[in-house]
Structure 1
């Protein structure tokens, strides 16, 4: 099998909680002639060491991933060969994407991956792909949890379990955002579906890709809401709001009339202020250190004058 071709354009990754619009976003961006994305890969999802027995078993035996490879046009024999040749998750990812692009969209110049649960390996992705960028799409947790309860794609009946999907993705990606603020674009599912043209242009500008309205002429989006559908009772929705409060507030879903949310909003503002102050202090210290390095040391000879 040939070595993977390395594109000059760094890849990007769509991450977030399941049922938050990641598939919608991927399918829209697939319409761009420069961009190609397979089905979900989950290469960075599991914490088991790459090519260890557990990782290898899951990667080769998981029914969902085998179905994804079938859709991508990559046989199990080919995937096994890719895995055997790869020395890291990133290496496997590049090899897989190269083979997929050569068959599915040879004219594309840049690949991207949409695997929401890769949020668990976001730090490793950022490390192994230093130039990569990240799109984090966020949806109101009430509607995410209700969608998981409905189970159209995947079913999670346990309320705490469903909240954990949202909380853990949000927490992992909040850390990624703090660590690499210029590499992460946070998108609101509600805002994107309300004005997809503006959302697409924002994404492409962030990625450095050209926008042409004709690529997306047939895009139609609609916000899907479940908060008034009766899927969750009022008590259950209250529990979701409580369990997801920190992330809700951070992403603008806080209720200013709710005392607990008000307190959380205030705390978030204080944290943001302290973070800004700490950043300013670090910047000032770095400037001072740079000036000090330029100063001549003790006993240094003054430059001769004319």
Structure 2
């Protein structure tokens, strides 16, 4: 296969309903030597309402935007200093919201010595702002990773029990509704180029799933899977000193990290989850344990719950965006 030019690789955004293996996928793509995805950020969707229509950016705008980027990105703005970002913005003088984003993301690639690669962004919550992403980057590729919601629920539960930083829904009901709301947002998009991967399939047959993804992203599968010099030994000395590169190889994948809910979730909680999420568990080919949850009589109650969850999440996201900007 001929080497793909970076100009032919569109930016990629990885989204999910959370705890679905997006970090694993990020690590695999970072081993491609063609796309690099920095630490997490939802800068683009959270700042979009305030700047997407702006056609002229002043020095004051740049300084405000840098603060917003730092506040909405891991590692205090991917460990880029305000001075460095301001210098990059002054040099490029971007005058659209899309160019602002590209300048910041490319500044990171330049800082870590990967300016020949295409940038990507990974953050599960971006699933709620796909329309904002596409309005900013019409050529972008969206990758949606879905995982059995019952295992997702267990993962969030563990975060709340053991995590230093606690986030995400807590109870089985809120977990199910949050998982479903993300899937419904994907279900509702039209005329958007996206690829959907099941976490379980990525674990069981990573080569097949990555081949499918490489075709979608227009990158060379052979380049980062079969070439033993990639991705590690081809990195620059500067890259080797970076702690946040996060590169994974197929050989590191553990295929057994599935169906934990069967042993770790109580039968009552499994029933409650299936009662709420049955249509979407079935849609994504996840097994149903309790036949009664498939009865049509549950449909009106589910629709009411789904609508309520959407209204609540939209309100919560809007409040978060306002609070971020006002900070």
TM-score, normalising length: structure 1: 0.70
Cα shift readout 1:181-205 (whole Å, capped 9, x = no counterpart): 6x11111110110111111111111
Q: Where does structure 1 lack aligned partners over 5 or more consecutive residues?
A: 1-5, 265-306
Q: d(CA) in 2 for partners of 1:135 and 1:256? A: 29
Question: Which residue of the partner structure matches residue 75 of structure 1?
Answer: 81
Q: d(CA) in 2 for partners of 1:143 and 1:204? A: 27
Q: How far apart are 1:60 and its partner, in Å?
A: 5.3
Q: d(CA) in 1 for partners of 2:138 and 2:44? A: 15
Q: d(CA) in 2 for partners of 1:132 and 1:184? A: 9
Counterparts of residues 238-277 of structure 1 (less than 5 Å):
238-253=271-286, 255=288, 258-261=291-294
Counterparts of residues 39-118 of structure 1 (less than 5 Å):
39-46=39-46, 49-51=49-51, 59=68, 62=71, 65=73, 67=75, 69=77, 72-79=78-85, 89-106=97-114, 108-118=116-126
Q: Where does structure 2 lack aligned partners over 5 or more consecutive residues?
A: 1-5, 53-60, 231-248, 298-327
Are the counterparts in 2 of residues 60 and 66 from structure 1 also a CA contact under 8 Å? no
Q: d(CA) in 2 for partners of 1:209 and 1:61? A: 30
Q: d(CA) in 2 for partners of 1:254 and 1:129? A: 37
Q: How far apart are 1:237 and its partner, in Å?
A: 1.8
Are the counterparts in 1 of residues 13 and 141 from structure 2 also a CA contact under 8 Å? yes
Question: Which residue of the partner structure matches residue 311 of structure 2?
Answer: none
Q: How far apart are 1:224 and its partner, in Å?
A: 2.1
User: Which structure is richer in relative contact order (CA contacts within 8 A, separation 6 or more)?
Assistant: 2
Residue 220 to residue 253, structure 1, CA distance change in 2 (3 Å) = closer
Residue 228 in structure 1 maps to residue 238 in structure 2: no
Residue 56 to residue 102, structure 1, CA distance change in 2 (3 Å) = closer
Please state whether the residue corresponding to 2:43 is helix, strand or coil: coil
Are the counterparts in 1 of residues 16 and 144 from structure 2 also a CA contact under 8 Å? yes
Question: Which residue of the partner structure matches residue 22 of structure 1?
Answer: 22
Question: Which residue of the partner structure matches residue 217 of structure 2?
Answer: 207
Q: d(CA) in 2 for partners of 1:47 and 1:223? A: 39
RMSD value over aligned CA atoms? Answer: 3.3
Q: How far apart are 1:75 and its partner, in Å?
A: 1.5
Are the counterparts in 2 of residues 167 and 247 from structure 1 also a CA contact under 8 Å? yes
Please state whether the residue corresponding to 1:146 is helix, strand or coil: helix
Q: d(CA) in 2 for partners of 1:261 and 1:141? A: 17
Residue 86 to residue 119, structure 1, CA distance change in 2 (3 Å) = farther
Q: How many pairs are equivalent?
A: 252
Q: d(CA) in 1 for partners of 2:295 and 2:202? A: 26
